Amino acid sequence: MEDVRYERLRPGQIVKRSQACPVAYLPLGIIEWHGLQNPLGLDGLKVHGVATRAAQRGGGLVFPVP
């Protein structure tokens, strides 16, 4: 399956995906503590994964979590 993560694509791939489906996913998540078992910023990691699956199914590009 073609990658939809903006930070992993080359300029030509970004242009191609943008023209095919001009949708941008901007995943945002709170940086908060969720316990010793989880990384700081877990919310952003989860929403990035959800956005990636959505873009793979429906088109568009997923930007990195700020």
Could you tell me the pTM of the whole model? 0.88
- Please report how many Cα atoms fall inside a 13 Å half-sphere around the Cα of residue 50, on the Cβ side: 10
CA 18 to CA 11: how far, in whole Å?
11
What are 23's two structure tokens?
A: 């949708």
pLDDT at 2: 86
Per-residue pLDDT band for 31 (boundaries 50, 70, 90) equals: confident
For all residues of the chain together, what is the average pLDDT?
A: 95
Domain ranges for the chain: 6-62
pLDDT at 46 over 90: yes
pLDDT at 34 over 90: no
Q: Which residue shows structure tokens 């990691």?
A: 45
State phi, psi for 62 to the nearest 5 degrees: -110, 120
